[in-house]
A and B are shown apart, each in its own frame.
Chain A
Amino acid sequence: MCAAVERRMYDVAIIGGGVVGCAIARELSRFALRTVLLEKDAEVGFGTSKTNSGIIHPGHHSSNETLKGRLVVPGNALFDQLHDELGFAFRRIGELTVARDKDEFGKLEEMKALGESKGVPGLEMWDRDKLNREEPNLSRSLVGALHAPSAGVINPYEFAFALIENAQANGLELRVDAPALDVDLRDDHLEVRTPQESVPARFVINCAGVFADRVANMVGLDDFAIHPRKGEEYLLDKRLRGVVRRLIFPVPTAVTKGILIIPTYDGTLMVGPTAEDTDDRYDVTTTREGAEKVFESVRKICPPIDERATIAEFAGLRAASTSGDFIIGPTSVRGFINVAGIQSPGLTASPAIARMVLDILRDEGLSLVENPDFDPTNEPPPRFEQQSVERREELASSDPGFGRMVCRCETVTEAEISFAIDRGARTLDGVKFRNRAGMGRCQGGFCTPRIMEMLAEKLDIPLHEVTKRGGGSWLVIPMESGGSNAEGDGPCSDE
């Protein structure tokens, strides 16, 4: 399909569609440029950007000595505007770093001073009384806390989807299932080879997450390596909603940042992450030991939280680089720019990273002329459940798709699933992470067949080619014809 497209030079090819690649793509779409983003997975955001704590950090946990320390505060500050423009789930709920003894309380004072020197807004020390009043379910043995009101929570996958959707609306070309296999050096440009095509581009930006060193190797660079560090997270039942209202951090020690309690945007509590080095860049398994570590640590801070309340668990890989810091900048290969080693707080920093990359491109000679048609806003489709009764009545009578409930646990209608597919969902997970269909109590037990049928219909593929998240994640096998004594017609036969 793509081979037929005229081979024209791209100004920029972005390798990797995590939040970093997507944020860069969206920033670039402000300008009259020909940009393409190549993502190896079936959809953007399915790497580390889908599996993290979803925190927009205030920035007082790290000093300005590192690049990652410097990019947090400006990254955080950009989220209000991004949220207004793009409409992803984001809320500033504030963060408490809690001290277990006098020594730790002393450390909080130091963190406060550090944060203030970096411009972190609103930092405030809370004594035991205030902490008990505001968060009465935390352990009574805590002696106080540092409150940082600018901390926020976000649904990180929604952020990636919103960025790419806006970038696409402003002219970005997106290729999925398109892994960069190699990059060839030409006189005046680079050629990125994927299984489908060879993409010529003046600039290539390497945002390949845990694979960024491999992509750098493709142009002969081997000055850094990625050593993934796995983090396990545990989502808790909705009945624990409201047990804490703010993000809860322990005071970090020399070895670890500690286990956090995270009230997610959707209201459920999440606890994690662990930090274990792994050699396997696909290892997103959860472990018995990880769960023990998480819950043992959390119980000390918040006794009512208990392992039995777990409803889901996952793990993500931090793309820790050999330098320990973000690696952002031009390289000895002309036109090849690294945006690598983007470990935590990469989600928070991503908008600031994107701006930094713009400056780098400008310095490297890319002329940035404004795209006169740039529209910074997305119009997110209505979430039926969140509308007023009157508005729901209106929607359901104007579009029968709103009258067909597909996911009953999260009340997602057929119209919303259609929108998700129209806006780029190509897999069950893609639908689920766009509108929560299949994410509720029954975990898709009822709605999976209907969502599969809709994907098959709209993408015009047979049902057995619908996948959970692309690649080899197939879901069903057709029964041998004649071998089936299936009763009557399938549930879709009425269409």
Chain B
Amino acid sequence: MNRRYDVVVIGGGPAGLGAALAALDAGTESVLVVEREPEAGGILRQCIHSGFGLHHFKEELTGPEYAERFVQKAIDRDIDVVPNAYVTGLALDSDDTRLVRVLSERDGLSTIECSSVVLAMGCRERTRGAIRIPGSRPAGVLTAGLAQKMVNMMGYLPGRRIAILGSGDIGLIMARRLVLEGCDVVGVFEILPYSNGLTRNVVQCLDDYGIPLHLSTTVAEIHGRDRVEAITVAPVGADLQPDMSKAWRETCDTLLLSIGLIPENELSQSIGANLDLVTGGPIVSSSMETSLPGVFACGNVLHVHDLVDFVTEEALRAGRFAGQWARGVRRPPDTVSLVPGRNVRYSVPHTLSPDRPHTIYLRCKERMQPCVLRVGDLINKKLSFVVPAEMIRLKIRPSLLDNFYGDRLTIDIDPRD
């Protein structure tokens, strides 16, 4: 690790690695990737199932295979990927210099200078505390991602008889994984009337294995002194409160939580990056730059993705602009804000500029089919359906804004018959 780099990337997951490669492609000379874990690859290292890369590589890879391709490229191209190193702080020193404080086993605490920074810290899972389940607090209540790490990387099972609260993708994938390992999965309980995971995961991970998915149902109480012994499950009304008159008990020794992911932005917040209250990630321009000049963001730290291919796509863009910044290129500020409207929960990036192609990522609030996606009066795109679990991706031609003179565009999703 040197004292100075053109670009420092924080986090060595697919977002960080993609950004590092793109920064190099943009002509920078030195790029550092700081990774906390003993190896780069991010959360993909524990996702040993296949289904990654269909968009980017046009073939079906496992998580570690997908990650490995990027790690290998990074090594081939002399990017410094430093594992067992943790970024503890970040500061904007002058117009052209950012300081990154890195704590590592090898070098202790050091301060690295760079021109631009890419935030790629990924996300964490929501925990029991976030949803307030009454009852006892025994061992055996854990997030699905932690269970995935135990099974896939440590060679241990989290329990024998498993209930899963929440139907996020990790929970669905773990349901199948644990059945294959000989566990009983008593069911997946989802408080909303629809699944929070990709349809393909509901079919391939639950339906194919006969695991029941209970919609509009929640875990109302946890039982067990030392270890989980059972849970009380109840259907919920329109107010999402459990109807205890219809509650039943499920015997299990483990409760996995797959109730959502939260971008890890404590570092971003500590330097004053403005966050979007809905995504939990930074507000970014069309060049993936945060409210702090020369600080870019991509991947799950920006907004939670369901497909890693789109993480890569976003990372390549962020890395390219971070690389250009380091070489002294400054872009005129964006001129158009993009505002979520009817049935749109959020959209990223938050602003656009004319004369460049853009890719907009957005999520709907509720399921709708068939429907039409509108961007102001400029785009009218028919969609057969939208669901909150699946991110919508919209490519925009450079010429689109040629004849647009306003300063804001609203995105709406409306029903169509």
Contacts and interface: CB of A to CB of B under 8 A. Distances in A.
Interface of A: 235, 282, 284-288, 290-291, 307, 310-314, 389, 392-393, 396-397, 400, 402-405, 408-409, 411, 413, 441-446, 448-449, 463-464, 467-480, 483-488, 490-492, 494
A249 to B, nearest CB: 25
Contacts of B135: 285-286
B64 A491 contact: no
A486 B149 contact: no
Nearest to B62: A487
Given A285-B134, A310-B132, A477-B160, A404 B155 contact: no
A488 B108 CA distance: 28
B38 A403 contact: no
A486 B152 contact: yes
13 contacts: A311-B130, A313-B132, A314-B137, A392-B109, A402-B103, A442-B124, A449-B153, A467-B139, A473-B139, A474-B139, A483-B181, A485-B48, A490-B153
Nearest to A481: B155
Which of A445, A448, A463, A492 has the most chain B CB atoms closer than 10 A to its own CB? A445
Interface centre among A396, A471, A475, A487 (most CB of B within 10 A): A487
Given A445-B143, A491-B154, A479 B124 contact: no
Contact of B132 (A307, A477, A486): A307
A265 B212 CA distance: 45
Given A403-B103, A443-B129, A468-B139, A474 B227 contact: yes
B136 interface: yes
A472 B225 CA distance: 8
B157 A479 contact: yes
Given A284-B137, A397-B108, A473-B139, A445 B156 contact: no
Interface string B125-153: 10111101011111110110110011111
A286 B134 contact: yes
Contacts of B363: none
A312 B129 CA distance: 5
A313 B129 CA distance: 8
Going nearest first, the 9 A-B pairs with the smallest beta carbon separation are: A396-B108, A472-B226, A468-B139, A476-B156, A397-B108, A473-B139, A405-B86, A443-B127, A473-B226
Contacts of A310: 129, 132
Contact of B103 (A307, A405, A449, A469): A405
Contacts of A284: 136-137
B328 interface: no
- By secondary structure, the B interface counts as mixed
Given A443-B129, A445-B145, A404 B88 contact: no
A470 to B, nearest CB: 8
A464 B156 contact: yes
A359 to B, nearest CB: 38
Given A408-B36, A442-B124, A488-B64, 10 more contacts: A284-B136, A389-B109, A392-B103, A403-B84, A403-B106, A411-B88, A442-B127, A473-B138, A486-B151, A492-B154
A442 B125 contact: yes
Nearest to B45: A487
Contacts of A290: 134
Nearest to A399: B108
Given A473-B138, A474-B139, A486-B152, A491 B38 contact: yes
B153 A486 contact: yes
Interface in B87-121: 88, 103-109
Contacts of B146: 444-446, 448-449
B134 A287 contact: yes
A449 B86 contact: no
B134 A477 contact: no
Contact of B86 (A400, A408, A441, A494): A408
Nearest to A411: B88
B226 A490 contact: no
Nearest to A475: B139
Contacts of B136: 284-285
